[in-house]
């Protein structure tokens, strides 16, 4: 296998995101030009593609180790037969998003903020995607009438302060479409913050063009969250995309998913987090993998995440540590899962364990007049 013979890898159009998008690897016949695949693997992949399509940008494919099936980039992008194993408690819609959807394409779970799903299309289809039920349709942008209905809902619901534009990947939309959506939202007085959730900086960093950042900058306050899972994704290209976003005055956060055999140990997560803060990206959430259908092979034990959090706290800068959360099955929202630092707590004192395991006591306040606990 010599991936340098793969023609797109030397294309003069490499830095053009539309070219990257058009030339995505979507079929086994293309994939086998880039990585080594056995006959059995090829058959397995074809089987998986009946349920959830494959698309890998040439850029992201170029990061894959061509011969190692355990490559953390490859494992996020290339289907395996494990995807056909569906466990009894796995669900189409594990977060019950449809139940919290007052109008199509809006998920309103928390009082002051909504998810606005503007497209079902992504530049790469992550094998561990939570929204496999909806994501993966090409030309998946919602219609103008659907945008109108969603914007109307936001406009008439005055407690919505924060709109999170998500999908699919919103940054697969052309600038003009994105601009129209953002400007509609900016026209609503009570919408203070607009957020965009996108994996583009990781899988198609050339999408972050000067035109795009200028468009976003005109509509501040805009925040972006992206989705790096492994330090190997922090390439010169992706680091540059992050820098361009941050230089446009956009606070950039990262949401990672804890994935079995990809990043489920302290060293790998630590390297990722330190690389992110060096790139001026603030780690935001570390997610326990959801219960979507066919992703059971990616799930880790909850204890693994707690142990990683325990090892991180105190050992790296506070702003490099994300919050570890489980998005509660059934639609309960994100629940923070923390190592246990409180050993005991009563009216008189709190006994705590620090990151090294040493015990400390903090006395509770007392009523100074009566000299008793408050």
Q: Considering only residues 27, 42, 53, 113, which one is a binding residue for ligand PLP as defined by CB under 6 A?
A: 113
Cα–Cα distance measured from residue 262 to residue 76, given in angstroms and rounded to the nearest whole number = 8
Q: Which range in 33-41, 118-126, 268-276, 279-287 contacts ligand SF4 by CB under 6 A?
A: 118-126
CB of 202 to ligand SF4, least distance (A): 8
* Of the candidates 116, 1, 18, 108, the residue with the CA atom closest to the CA atom of residue 58: 18
Q: Nearer Cβ to ligand SF4, position 6 or 228?
A: 228
Q: Considering only residues 126, 182, 312, 325, which one is a binding residue for ligand SF4 as defined by CB under 6 A?
A: 126
- Assess 323 for contact with ligand PLP (CB under 6 A): no
Q: Considering only residues 93, 169, 237, 244, which one is a binding residue for ligand SF4 as defined by CB under 6 A?
A: 169
User: 116 - beta bridge partners?
Assistant: 106, 165
- Assess 55 for contact with ligand SF4 (CB under 6 A): no
* Of the candidates 62, 5, 8, the residue with the CA atom closest to the CA atom of residue 238: 62
User: 225 - beta bridge partners?
Assistant: 197, 253
Q: Which range in 103-111, 123-131, 239-247, 260-268 contacts ligand PLP by CB under 6 A?
A: 103-111
Structure tokens at 194: 């607009």
- Assess 109 for contact with ligand PLP (CB under 6 A): yes
- Assess 135 for contact with ligand SF4 (CB under 6 A): yes
Cα–Cα distance measured from residue 3 to residue 56, given in angstroms and rounded to the nearest whole number = 15
Cα–Cα distance measured from residue 40 to residue 51, given in angstroms and rounded to the nearest whole number = 18
CB of 370 to ligand PLP, least distance (A): 41
Q: Nearer Cβ to ligand PLP, position 115 or 122?
A: 115
Q: Considering only residues 199, 207, 232, 270, which one is a binding residue for ligand SF4 as defined by CB under 6 A?
A: 199
- Assess 270 for contact with ligand SF4 (CB under 6 A): no
Contacts with ligand SF4 in 203-262 (CB under 6 A)?
none
Q: Which of the choices ligand PLP, ligand SF4, none does residue 295 contact, using the CB cut-off of 5 to 8 A by kind?
A: none
What is the pairing mode between strands 252-257 and 222-226?
parallel
Helix (H, G, I), strand (E, B) or coil at 168: coil
Q: Which range in 73-81, 107-115, 127-135, 185-193 contacts ligand PLP by CB under 6 A?
A: 107-115
DSSP 236-283: HHHHHHHHHHHHTT--EEEEEE--TTTT-SHHHHHHHHHHHHHTT-EE
- Assess 154 for contact with ligand PLP (CB under 6 A): no
Active-site position among 27, 53, 113, 282:
113
Omega cis (within 30) before 221? yes
- Burial, 317: exposed, middle or buried (Cβ in 10 Å; 0-12, 13-18, 19+)? exposed
Q: Which residues bind ligand PLP (CB under 6 A)?
A: 107, 109-110, 113, 115, 164, 334
Which residues are annotated as catalytic? 109-110, 113, 122, 126, 129, 131, 290, 327, 334
């Amino acid at each position: 296998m010599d991936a340098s013979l793969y023609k797109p890898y030397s294309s003069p159009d490499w830095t053009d995101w539309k070219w990257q998008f058009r030339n995505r690897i979507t079929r086994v016949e293309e994939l086998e030009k880039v990585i080594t695949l056995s006959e059995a693997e090829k058959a397995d992949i074809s089987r998986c593609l009946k349920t959830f399509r494959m698309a890998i940008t040439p850029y992201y494919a170029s990061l894959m180790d061509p011969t190692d099936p355990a490559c953390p980039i490859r494992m996020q992008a290339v289907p395996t037969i494990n995807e056909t194993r569906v466990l009894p408690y796995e669900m189409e819609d594990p977060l019950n998003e449809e139940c919290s959807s007052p109008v199509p394409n809006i998920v309103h779970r928390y009082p002051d903020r909504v998810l606005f799903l503007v497209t079902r299309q992504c530049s790469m289809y992550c094998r561990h995607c939570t929204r496999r039920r909806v994501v993966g349709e090409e030309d998946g942008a919602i219609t103008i009438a659907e945008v109108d209905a969603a914007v109307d809902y936001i406009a008439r619901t005055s407690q919505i302060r924060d709109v999170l534009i998500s999908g699919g990947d919103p940054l697969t939309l052309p600038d003009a479409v994105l601009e129209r959506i953002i400007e509609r939202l900016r026209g609503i007085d009570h919408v203070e913050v607009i957020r965009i959730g996108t994996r583009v900086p990781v899988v198609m960093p050339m999408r972050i063009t000067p035109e795009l950042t200028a468009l976003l900058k005109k509509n501040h306050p805009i925040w972006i969250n992206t989705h790096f899972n492994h330090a190997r994704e922090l390439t010169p290209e992706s680091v540059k995309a992050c820098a361009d976003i941050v230089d446009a005055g956009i606070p950039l956060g990262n949401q990672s998913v804890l994935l079995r055999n990809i990043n489920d140990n302290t060293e790998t997560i630590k390297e990722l987090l330190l690389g992110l803060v060096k790139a001026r990206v603030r780690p935001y959430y570390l997610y326990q993998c959801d219960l979507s259908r066919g992703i059971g092979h990616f799930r880790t034990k909850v204890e693994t995440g707690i142990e990683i959090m325990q090892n991180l706290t105190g050992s790296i800068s506070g702003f490099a540590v994300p919050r570890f959360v489980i998005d509660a099955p059934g639609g309960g929202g994100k629940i923070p899962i923390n190592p246990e630092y409180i050993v005991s707590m009563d009216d008189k004192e709190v006994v705590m364990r620090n990151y090294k395991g040493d015990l400390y006591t903090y006395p509770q306040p007392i009523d100074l007049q009566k000299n008793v606990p408050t």
